[in-house]
Amino acid sequence: MRLGIISDTHDLLRPEVFEVFKEVDHILHAGDIGGPDILTALEAIAPVTAVWGNTDGFDIRAKVPEIARVRIEGTDFVVVHGHQVGSPTPEKLYERFPEAEVIIYGHTHRPLLTTIDLVVTVMNPGGAGPQRFDLPPSVGIMELEAGIPPRARLVPLTELDD
């Protein structure tokens, strides 16, 4: 199974997302979505599990939870924006969600892919919407296959905006 991992669209769904996600089976959105049209557009690609972030309005908060716990292909995921732990780090998130095998988060706009305790994969796909912090917009792709740890990569969507 192939997952598209996205966060911090802030009401901007770049056209490059459609190309990168064209063969995904499921999309995980880690919050700061923007308007409901973003979810509708992503749902045209694949089923979406999304959470709301600290900048999302009541329209999004009425549609998606603050924290999503989902089992995909036998792997326990927690999808969270990250604002719940202040300035999120993999260690803080693992402490808060020790039951997760994979933690997907956003909030910082900084792409990150690491493991904690040798078995828990923690991924921040970076900000997919408006550019921040002199980082190119990015998303993630994660492959799940029975009997082996998740394989994931970060995918820049564009060069730095002018």
CATH label of the domain that carries residue 111: 3.60.21.10
Q: Is the pLDDT of residue 160 over 70?
A: no
Q: What digits encode the pLDDT tens for the residues 5-51?
A: 999 999 999 999 999 999 999 999 999 999 999 999 999 999 999 99
48 located within any domain: yes
Mean pLDDT estimate for the chain = 94
Residue 109 covered by a domain: yes
The answer to whether residue 14 is domain-embedded is yes
Q: What is the largest CA-CA distance in the chain?
A: 44
Q: Is residue 16 part of a domain?
A: yes
pLDDT in the model for residue 119: 78
pLDDT digits (tens, 9 = 90+) for 73-120: 999 999 999 999 999 999 999 999 999 999 999 999 999 999 998 778
Contact yes or no for 12/34 (Cβ under 8 A): yes
Say if 162 falls within a structural domain.
Answer: no
Whole-number Å distance between alpha carbons of 90 and 96: 10
Tell me which residue range forms the domain holding 99: 2-156
| pTM value surpassing 0.85 | yes
Q: Which residue blocks in the chain are alpha helix, DSSP H? A: 15-20, 36-43, 58-61, 90-96
What total number of domains does the chain contain? 1
Q: Return the amino acid letter for 126.
A: G
